[in-house]
Amino acid sequence: MARTEGKTSKTGKLLEIHNLRIEATVYPPGGDPENVVIVDDVSLTLEPGKVLGLIGESGAGKSTVGLSSMGYGRGGVRITGGKVILNGRDILKDRPGLRKLRGNEVCYVAQSAAAAFNPAHRLMRQVVEASVKHGVCSRAEAERRAVALFRELSLPDPEHIGERFPHQVSGGQLQRVMTAMALCSQPDLIVFDEPTTALDVTTQIDVLAAIKKAIRDTGVAALYITHDLAVVAQVSDDIMVLRHGKKVEYGATQQIIGEPKEEYTRALVSVHHIAHEEKKPAPQPLLLVKNVTASYGGGTVKVLKNVSVDINAGQTLAVVGESGSGKSTLARAITGLLPPSEGSISFEGRTLPPRLAGRSKEDLRQLQMIYQMADVAMNPRQTVGTIIGRPLQFYFGMRGRERKERVLELLDKIEMGKGFLDRYPAELSGGQKQRVCIARSLAAKPKLIICDEVTSALDPLVANGILKLLLELQKEENVAYLFITHDLATVKSIADSIAVMYRGEVVRYGPKSEVLKPPFDAYTDLLLSSVPQMQVGWLEKAISGRRMEAAGN
């Protein structure tokens, strides 16, 4: 379906980026504005119909490089050097012409389709908007084409899904509608910016397959941006690894994942492996959750149905499942934020009052929590010292020098020096913020810490560091974890026992070795088989071998 007018340059290249340099001005707290280089001396070429994966951790400049192909700088970012040659012309030299190119020659698929669709308009209107605007075809023709694309991307009810509003469609489906929107104006190039990162692992595989099929069938070229090497290995022909705005390695997919040349790429390829010995279950569990049922809206929506699990002192129970499976609600029930309607929760042999307000200070101290978004879990106007010192003062009445010494001790435990004492959260990296949150929960000397998706927002290498730290601390402090996650690789590295949740119920529960041993029930099988593997051709194998459909589909 790609354009046939032969707009590509004589060299046969669709996109050439030469020595790209991108800068931005940052305003550090309390300091003078500084110029920072976000992308430095990056060059790449893309032939028509090919897919190039751009990978790296956050801040590596991969989105910035991707968007430069549309001459777009997000949030005041400036392209200060180099050339971006698309279809044989340097697009940076023709600023007014950029508007004709965007949504026409190059289209964009954003990370969160849920946020990228305008909530006020029906989907169809948004899908055909660019095609109509650029005069690619008439509205009626564009709508016909959109319906065909909806069908191609295996969306349910392709004839009528366009009449819906964004909030009426699930996240995985929206992501596919967004892909259809990008394909509708028949571009030469699509920039996919982490299109599956925000999705559940079981939904991701469907969207990934749909995107791959659409790319193959329409012959469009793509820049595929992600931090997940296993995902990009499924769709791209070549891969470029970026770090701190510079190219680390650039080569064919098979070479990058099979024989990486650079140290950093090797670290990325082998990131998920932490050897963790499973501990034997203790006779007396620390926390006992018995037949807990909980609901929202005064009993109208049951989100936990008869859930029973227990956690042993100094061990880790991992709770896995996709979004909406009730795993975070379980944490809310245990902490008393959502009192269960039935069942009981006991801690060290005594039953905990169901409501938060009914619990003693001691109960509160024993049970701490770490959140997914370290950013919003800290008061941005307090220094690291105050944040970590607060539970010391609250639970143990520590003040002055005594408190400061303990804070330093805790900072040492999370492998951060005393230089961080007077820093504000805004001055820390994502991984450092999460470490501070860990130190804050440890300060209370709890017996159990609930970790709610604590590594999901972090880059793989950083997340790996956090997991290692958590395991280390468990050994030292004998603290138990209730580890909520949707990432099975994380579970393998950290858990002693596993509970698999599906629609508010525990469908599989036991020691790690048993839960991960076949035969599996249908849902656990779906979950396990959906985790992307770092090998070319995994996607096709996984799709053909599946026994049940993902819930978010």
Cβ within 8 Å of residue 184, ≥6 positions away: 127, 128, 130, 131, 142, 145, 146, 149
Q: Spell out where 194-268 has E strands.
A: 221-226, 238-243, 246-252
Q: Is residue 296 near another protein by the rule CB under 8 A?
A: no
Least distance from another protein to the Cβ atom of residue 119, Å? 6
Is 116 one of the binding residues for another protein (CB under 8 A)? yes
Q: Taking CB under 8 A as the rule, does residue 272 contact another protein?
A: no
Nearer CB in complex with another protein: 167/280 = 167
Please answer whether residues 527 and 504 qualify as being in contact, where contact means their C-beta atoms are separated by less than 8 angstroms: no
**Helix-, strand-, coil-residue percentages of the chain, each rounded to 5:** 40, 25, 40
Out of 1, 98, 137, 471, the only residue in the binding site for another protein (CB under 8 A) is 98
What are the DSSP calls for 492-536, one per residue? HHH-SEEEEEETTEEEEEEEHHHHTSSSPPHHHHHHHHTSPPSST
Is 129 a binding residue for another protein by CB under 8 A? The answer is yes
Residue 104 sits in the site that holds another protein (CB under 8 A): yes
Number of residues in contact with another protein, rule: CB under 8 A?
30
By beta-carbon proximity to another protein, the closer residue of 25 and 118 is 118
Stretch that binds another protein, among 102-110, 317-325, 500-508, 510-518 (CB under 8 A): 102-110
Please tell me whether residue 515 binds another protein under the rule CB under 8 A: no
Q: Which two tokens stand for residue 433?
A: 């913020």
Of 83, 16, 82, 93, nearest to 48 by C-alpha is: 16
Does the protein bind another protein through residue 454 (CB under 8 A)? no
* CB of 97 or CB of 281, closer to another protein: 97
Closer Cβ to another protein, 112 or 553, answer by number: 112
Structural element, H or E, at residue 209: helix 201-218
Q: How far is the CB of 142 from another protein (least distance, A)?
A: 13
Pick the closer one to another protein by CB: 114 or 471.
Answer: 114
Q: Does 115 bind another protein (CB under 8 A)?
A: yes
Distances (CA, A) of 511 to 310, 318, 499, 502, 514: 11, 10, 9, 18, 6
Q: Kindly state whether residue 167 participates in binding another protein, applying the rule CB under 8 A.
A: yes
Does residue number 379 form part of the binding site for another protein (CB under 8 A)?
Answer: no
Rounded-to-integer distance, Cα 28 and Cα 35, Å: 11
CB of 105 vs another protein, minimal distance in Å? 9
With binding defined as CB under 8 A, does residue 197 bind another protein? no
Sites for another protein among residues 44-83 (CB under 8 A) = 70, 72, 74
- Measured from the CB atom, the residue of 129 and 249 that comes closer to another protein is 129
93-117: burial string, b at 16+ Cβ within 10 Å, e else: eeeeeeeebbbbbbbbbbbbbbebb
Query: Which amino acid, one-letter code, is at 495?
Result: A
Distances 458 to 73, 200, 325, 467 between C-alpha atoms, Å: 24, 16, 22, 11
Question: Per-residue x/- mask for another protein, residues 131 to 150, rule CB under 8 A?
Answer: --xx----------------
Rule CB under 8 A: say whether 91 interacts with another protein.
Answer: no
Rounded to a whole number of angstroms, the minimum distance from the CB of residue 428 to another protein is: 24
Q: How far is the CB of 302 from another protein (least distance, A)?
A: 18
**Amino acid, single-letter form, for residue 393:** Q
Q: Which CB, 101 or 467, lies closer to another protein?
A: 101
Is position 110 an interface residue for another protein (rule: CB under 8 A)? yes
Q: Give the bridge partners for 223, in sequence order.
A: 52, 191
29 phi and psi angles, rounded to 5 deg: -60, 125
Q: What is the nearest approach in angstroms of another protein to the Cβ of residue 99?
A: 5
- Give me the least distance between CB of 63 and another protein, in Å please: 11
Span interacting with another protein, options 104-112, 281-289, 296-304, 533-541, rule CB under 8 A: 104-112
Site stretch for another protein (CB under 8 A), options 108-116, 153-161, 196-204, 332-340? 108-116
Residues in contact with 141: Cβ distance below 8 Å, sequence separation at least 6, in sequence order: none
Q: Which is nearer to another protein, 126 or 434 (CB)?
A: 126
Determine if the peptide bond prior to 511 is cis (ω within 30°).
Answer: no
Q: Are 229 and 221 in contact (CB under 8 A)?
A: no
Residue 412 CA, chain-centre distance (Å), reads: 29
Residues that bind another protein (CB under 8 A): 70, 72, 74, 98-104, 107-108, 110, 112, 115-121, 126, 129-130, 133-134, 164-165, 167-168
